[in-house]
């Protein structure tokens, strides 16, 4: 069974600091990796995706992928109180395919003003 593991947190960081969220996955054949943000009482919102080893940056967010270690991370620079949410890691198949995404339980992030 494919599994995605995340530390449930809460992860507390002060405003302006870097928040580091981690995720490991069990299926070595996974090809696509996603980070979703979910505010309390809301549905998940896609914030980052990555397909290749290395780093991908988008504004204050950086996704990092290491397929050899089966490890994905999300860095949030200059954390803001509005970043306080649960962050879900999801893992899927090929970019052009339709393998359903498998989600982790999520890590709750709290940014303290």
Partner 1 sequence: ETGVTQTPRHLVMGMTNKKSLKCEQHLGHNAMYWYKQSAKKPLELMFVYNFKEQTENNSVPSRFSPECPNSSHLFLHLHTLQPEDSALYLCASGEGYGYTFGSGTRLTVV
Give the nearest distance from C-beta 91 to partner 1 in angstroms: 11
69 counts as binding partner 1 under rule CB under 8 A: no
3-state DSSP assignment of residue 82: helix
Enter the tokens of residue 35: 């980070």
Q: Is 99 in the site for partner 1 (CB under 8 A)?
A: yes
CB of 99 to partner 1, least distance (A): 7
Interface pattern 9-48 for partner 1 (x via CB under 8 A): ----------------------xx-x-------xxxxx--
Measured between alpha carbons, how far is 23 from 9 in angstroms, rounded to an integer?
12
Strand ranges, E, within the chain: 4-5, 11-14, 19-25, 32-38, 45-50, 54-58, 61-66, 71-76, 85-92, 102-103, 107-112
Tell me which residues touch partner 1 (CB under 8 A): 4, 8, 31-32, 34, 42-46, 49, 88, 92-106
């Amino acid at each position: 069974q494919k599994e995605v593991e995340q530390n449930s947190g809460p992860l507390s960081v002060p405003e302006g600091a870097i928040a580091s969220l981690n995720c490991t996955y069990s299926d070595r054949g996974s090809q696509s990796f996603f980070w979703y943000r979910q505010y309390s009482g809301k549905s998940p919102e896609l914030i980052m995706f990555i397909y290749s080893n290395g780093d991908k940056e988008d504004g204050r967010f950086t996704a990092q992928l290491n397929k050899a270690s089966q490890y994905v991370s999300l860095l949030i620079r200059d954390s803001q109180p509005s970043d306080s949410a649960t962050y879900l890691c999801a893992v899927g198949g090929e970019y052009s395919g339709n393998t359903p995404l498998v989600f982790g339980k999520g890590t709750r992030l709290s940014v303290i003003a």
